[in-house]
Amino acid sequence: MHIPDMDVYSFTGMAVILGYLLTLEFDVDEQAALGAWFNVRGDILASNSSYLALLQTRYDQLEDKTQDEQKDQFDILSEALDK
């Protein structure tokens, strides 16, 4: 699933409109239950995305370190061959 690219104000505005529409359809207890459910979903998505961002950062740092080490080894071998 892919969220389409859209303006950040449009994205937020859609959430506001949806929220208002839901308040018209449900009573207070149902709204509270739905709100709690959306909060749980939001927390799960936020936790997942932040953890994936952490893993991506670690992977990128490891990849950069590996490339630097390979370059250092290549430079050492190149200097040895030049002698």
Provide the residue ranges of all domains of the chain, joining segments of one domain with +: 27-82
Model confidence over 10-66: pLDDT tens digits?
A: 989 999 999 999 899 999 999 999 999 999 999 999 999 999 999 999 888 888 777
Question: Does pTM surpass 0.95?
Answer: no
Identity of the residue numbered 75: D
- The angle formed by the CA atoms of residues 9, 11 and 12, to the nearest 5 degrees, is 65
CA atoms of 11 and 17, how far apart (whole Å): 10
